[in-house]
Chains A and B, each alone.
Chain A
Amino acid sequence: MILAALRDLQWRWKRFAIAIAATALVFSMSLVMSGLAESFPLEVDHLLASFGGSSYLAPKGEVGPFTSASIVPTKEAPRAAPMLFWAAALRVKGEPRQAALFGLPPRWPIPVEHGTGRRRAGQIVVDDSLGLGVGSALHLGATDYRVVGTMHQRTLFGGQPLVIFTIHDAQARLAGGADITRAFIDRAGPDAPAPAGLTRFSRAETAADLLRPVQSAGQSITFVKLLLWLVAICIIGSVVFLSALERSRDFAVFKATGVKGWQMGLGLALQAIVLAVVASIVAIGIASLLAPLFPMPVSIPTSAAVSLPFLAIAIGLLASLAGLRKTMTADPVEAFGGR
């Protein structure tokens, strides 16, 4: 029956090719969605790697260092680096751009692709996706800031570029120059005691804090992925079911000649699996072409690409259920009588 199933695929190749193309598009969207979802934690990993530090400190009672709503004097943790973080829209080359802004001590090392990570007053380090090179200026209100270093792929919240000021410039913009901060980066490990009035957060806890604002976005993406898989099941299922409907006479003949129902069902399931697996392989190619075109960073995880064909097998099996019933209930009496 495997032979009959494969020959039927060849026989109706145009229909199956269209179904493969449609399913591949759906699968590729699912891969891109995985890439989008993956980009959030990846951004966070990159940011935390760039900032260094083994732990973070935030005023007691706060949920995390990046979502802290309280301010404390910087002297509360003299051995740690004060960090101010806020989000703002910047006008870059005439266009408004949403960015993630940080204030860090001038000598706090920031790895850069070009220029230097050390800033003085009026100097900033930016992510290159902002479109500003070393030496160019960023106009922020009445103040011009000079770009002294650029980073690569240092964004937050789905592609918002990082802009890193000196802590004093950040304090000047946010607190009229008061020596305060919302959090600290500390080289001490997560198990070290926190200074009085502060709570220490590990890297993992900090990462979770940074991901909290995009949590619902991540859940939405997961939901969309499920919907896409459902669409894939519907596409494959409808094609396989149509094929089963058209082959009802063939199934009746097979049954009349002693072929067992499960053998015919196996053939139909094989068709659905072949269709789904081929579509998944095509989808990996399409997704790799689509990913760079997305306005948000898309990091398709290798695991998602590798597991897609296996997921496709499951989808194919589910999709074949509709047609499977047709084969199991095929009436061999239909084989008698002229066509």
Chain B
Amino acid sequence: MPALSIDQLVVRYGDGENAVTPINGFTASIAEGTLAVLLGPSGCGKTTLLSCVAGIQHPTTGTITFGDTEVTDLDAAGLTTYRSGTVGIVFQGFNLVPSLNAAENVQVSLRAAGVARAEARGRAAELLTEVGLGERLKHHPASLSGGQQQRVAIARALALDPPLIVADEPTASLDHVQVEVVLRILRSLTARGRTVIVSTHDPRLIPLADQLIEMQPHAAPTPGGPTIEVTYTAGEVIFEQDSAGDRIYEIVDGVIEITHDHPNGTSTVLATLSAGDQFGEMGPLFDLPRSATARAVGAVHVRAYTVEAFRSKFGGAHLNQLVARTNAGRDAMTE
């Protein structure tokens, strides 16, 4: 049985045409004692997912279950208890309290959980020694390096010995020397059956992972070589919003319509393109999901390029112009 199950998770901000959906139907399961690494570019919802798993944010729909606890069913008091006893959080920016020294930063959650002062002090010293900061108990965050601060943050996350640790970009603010120590500590956290989820776009964490979770699936390479010719009939979809894609398109003949679908079921026509126009460069170029749907208005003949093929045929400057034109078009839409 997995320690953590995430099922059809949807997180949506706002409503109507301005709604944003950073997580749309995400499903994953992570076994007990596993170090799972969440991968994906900025903005793909890694932090949002972690905050949902940590019981900090409530998803729009979907369920999260850790052990026997259905996190998404907990009320405010239940979530506080869950955060206090079940989850330890390591934040990207360390988030240590500047007025407290290293030991006191670790002690806070212990004291708030009702642990006696002397016991909390002892536990904090023990944890900080474990992460190699036994000599710096009385140091304030300002006098610690980034790596040392992150180690204090890890010790704080471990204070109440939680079975689940979530770490949001734990190496983002660290140099390579500090990263090594933090990676070693993160790897060791699973030793006692603890489940650890780390979000990152730092490839150095990949070899450490027991499980890699791609927040945004990469597009499978389209068969047929670097440049292919495709024809579509009226109403046929060339690519769909939120899908991954590896092709940039050029219309040889016919007309296509680019539409953006909103979560409330409405859609906006962003552009109508005809022969000679090029489209669909943003997704493959930046490894992002498609932000709109392209549909043939009548019979359409398109030429589909891989990014490399497009660049070698039209040049980097042309690609940049295309990106700039798309961005200008989006800005105009939002004004």
Measured CB to CB, the residues of A under 8 A from B are: 1, 3-4, 7-8, 10-12, 249-250, 253-260, 263, 332-333, 335-339
Is the Cβ of A256 less than 8 Å from the Cβ of B83?
Answer: yes
Q: Would you call B89 an interface residue if the criterion is a C-beta within 8 Å of the partner chain's C-beta atoms? A: yes
Is the Cβ of B112 less than 8 Å from the Cβ of A11?
Answer: no
Contacts A333-B57, A336-B47 given: A253-B95 contact, CB under 8 Å?
Answer: yes
Ranked nearest first, the 4 interchain pairs of A and B with the lowest CB-CB distance are: A258-B84, A11-B99, A339-B93, A258-B83
Q: How many A-B residue pairs have C-beta atoms within 8 angstroms? Tell me.
A: 93
Distance of A330 from chain B, by nearest CB (Å): 11
Is the Cβ of A336 less than 8 Å from the Cβ of B100?
Answer: no
From B103-111, B277-285, B291-299, B309-317, the one touching the partner chain is B103-111
User: Which residues of chain B have C-beta atoms less than 8 A from A7's C-beta?
Assistant: 97, 99-100, 104
User: Which residues of chain A have C-beta atoms less than 8 A from B95's C-beta?
Assistant: 249, 253, 335, 339
From B48-56, B187-195, B200-208, the one touching the partner chain is B48-56
User: What is the CA–CA distance of A253 and B95 in the complex, to the nearest angstrom?
Assistant: 7
Is the Cβ of B109 less than 8 Å from the Cβ of A258?
Answer: yes
Contacts A3-B104, A259-B108, A339-B93 given: A10-B84 contact, CB under 8 Å?
Answer: no
Distance of B119 from chain A, by nearest CB (Å): 14
Residue with the greatest number of chain B CB neighbours at <10 A, chosen from A1, A11, A255, A332: A332
Q: Would you call B85 an interface residue if the criterion is a C-beta within 8 Å of the partner chain's C-beta atoms? A: yes
Q: In chain B between 84 and 129, which residues have their CB closer than 8 angstroms to a CB of chain A?
A: 84-85, 87-89, 91-95, 97-100, 104, 107-109, 111-113
Distance of A149 from chain B, by nearest CB (Å): 65
Is the Cβ of B80 less than 8 Å from the Cβ of A260?
Answer: yes
Contacts A259-B112, A333-B57, A335-B91 given: A250-B97 contact, CB under 8 Å?
Answer: yes
User: What is the CA–CA distance of A3 and B54 in the complex, to the nearest angstrom?
Assistant: 25
A-B contact pairs, 29 of them (CB 8 A): A1-B108, A1-B112, A3-B100, A3-B111, A4-B97, A4-B99, A7-B99, A7-B100, A8-B99, A12-B99, A249-B95, A253-B91, A254-B112, A255-B83, A256-B89, A256-B91, A257-B84, A257-B109, A257-B157, A258-B80, A258-B83, A258-B85, A258-B109, A260-B80, A333-B51, A335-B56, A336-B47, A337-B47, A339-B94
Q: Would you call B156 an interface residue if the criterion is a C-beta within 8 Å of the partner chain's C-beta atoms? A: yes
Closest residue on chain B to residue A331 by CB atoms: B56
Is the Cβ of B108 less than 8 Å from the Cβ of A11?
Answer: no
User: Which residues of chain B have C-beta atoms less than 8 A from A335's C-beta?
Assistant: 56, 89, 91, 95
User: Which residues of chain A have C-beta atoms less than 8 A from B143's C-beta?
Assistant: none
Query: Given A7-B100, A11-B98, 5 other A-B contacts at CB below 8 A?
Result: A3-B111, A335-B56, A336-B50, A336-B91, A337-B92
Partner of B112, one of A8, A250, A258, A333: A258
User: Which residues of chain A have C-beta atoms less than 8 A from B107's C-beta?
Assistant: 3
Distance of A86 from chain B, by nearest CB (Å): 66
Closest residue on chain A to residue B113 by CB atoms: A258
User: What is the CA–CA distance of A278 and B182 in the complex, to the nearest angstrom?
Assistant: 44
The secondary structure that dominates the B interface is: mixed
Closest residue on chain A to residue B92 by CB atoms: A338
Q: Would you call B222 an interface residue if the criterion is a C-beta within 8 Å of the partner chain's C-beta atoms? A: no
Residue with the greatest number of chain B CB neighbours at <10 A, chosen from A3, A253, A335: A253
User: What is the CA–CA distance of A263 and B114 in the complex, to the nearest angstrom?
Assistant: 11
Distance of A151 from chain B, by nearest CB (Å): 59
Is the Cβ of A336 less than 8 Å from the Cβ of B168?
Answer: yes
User: What is the CA–CA distance of A263 and B109 in the complex, to the nearest angstrom?
Assistant: 11
User: Which residues of chain A have C-beta atoms less than 8 A from B160's C-beta?
Assistant: 258
Is the Cβ of B93 less than 8 Å from the Cβ of A1?
Answer: no
Is the Cβ of A258 less than 8 Å from the Cβ of B81?
Answer: yes
Closest residue on chain B to residue A252 by CB atoms: B95
Residue with the greatest number of chain A CB neighbours at <10 A, chosen from B81, B83, B91, B92: B91
Is the Cβ of A338 less than 8 Å from the Cβ of B104?
Answer: no
Q: Would you call B233 an interface residue if the criterion is a C-beta within 8 Å of the partner chain's C-beta atoms? A: no
Is the Cβ of A257 less than 8 Å from the Cβ of B47?
Answer: no
Q: Would you call B183 an interface residue if the criterion is a C-beta within 8 Å of the partner chain's C-beta atoms? A: no
Q: Would you call B173 an interface residue if the criterion is a C-beta within 8 Å of the partner chain's C-beta atoms? A: yes
Distance of B166 from chain A, by nearest CB (Å): 10
User: What is the CA–CA distance of A249 and B159 in the complex, to the nearest angstrom?
Assistant: 20
Closest residue on chain B to residue A254 by CB atoms: B108
User: What is the CA–CA distance of A260 and B82 in the complex, to the nearest angstrom?
Assistant: 12
Is the Cβ of B172 less than 8 Å from the Cβ of A338?
Answer: yes
User: Which residues of chain A have C-beta atoms less than 8 A from B168's C-beta?
Assistant: 336-337
Distance of A336 from chain B, by nearest CB (Å): 5
Contacts A8-B99, A253-B91 given: A333-B56 contact, CB under 8 Å?
Answer: yes
Is the Cβ of A257 less than 8 Å from the Cβ of B108?
Answer: yes
User: What is the CA–CA distance of A7 and B111 in the complex, to the nearest angstrom?
Assistant: 15
Is the Cβ of A4 less than 8 Å from the Cβ of B50?
Answer: no
Closest residue on chain A to residue B101 by CB atoms: A7
Closest residue on chain A to residue B76 by CB atoms: A261
Closest residue on chain A to residue B117 by CB atoms: A3
Residue with the greatest number of chain B CB neighbours at <10 A, chosen from A10, A12, A257: A257
User: What is the CA–CA distance of A248 and B189 in the complex, to the nearest angstrom?
Assistant: 30
User: What is the CA–CA distance of A169 and B143 in the complex, to the nearest angstrom?
Assistant: 84
